[in-house]
Amino acid sequence: MFSNEDRYPLRNIIVEDLFSANKLVVCLVLALVITMLSTIWLTHKTRQLVSEKGELVLEHQVLESDYLNLKLEETTQGDSTRIEAIATKLGMKRVAHDQEVVIVE
């Protein structure tokens, strides 16, 4: 004749009780869930940023090493004694002032 749901609508009683008498509890639970999800999201983002920073630090170290090597190479390649040694090996001489030709347009 009557089912248990018709005689004792427990689900409806619980929901009605929660939203009528315990509004503060519902608000606090909702605030707790929002805070929990925010904390999880911020922790995830922080870990991503720390990982990215580590990769960038490694890349910076590699670039710094390359820069120092290039500066050293530039210093050794531009050394005047080295250039003069290569020029004499190729048989090159300095141009005398009377041999200079100036072109003016």
| pLDDT band at residue 14 using 50, 70 and 90 as cut-offs | confident
Q: In angstroms, what CA-CA distances link 57 with 44, 47, 49, 60, 66? A: 20, 15, 12, 5, 14
CA distance 35 to 26: 14
Q: What is the pLDDT of residue 5?
A: 59
Per residue in 15-47, pLDDT (tens digit) is 888 778 888 888 899 999 999 999 999 999 999
pLDDT in tens, 61-89: 999 999 999 999 988 887 888 888 888 89
Decide: pTM greater than 0.75. Answer: no
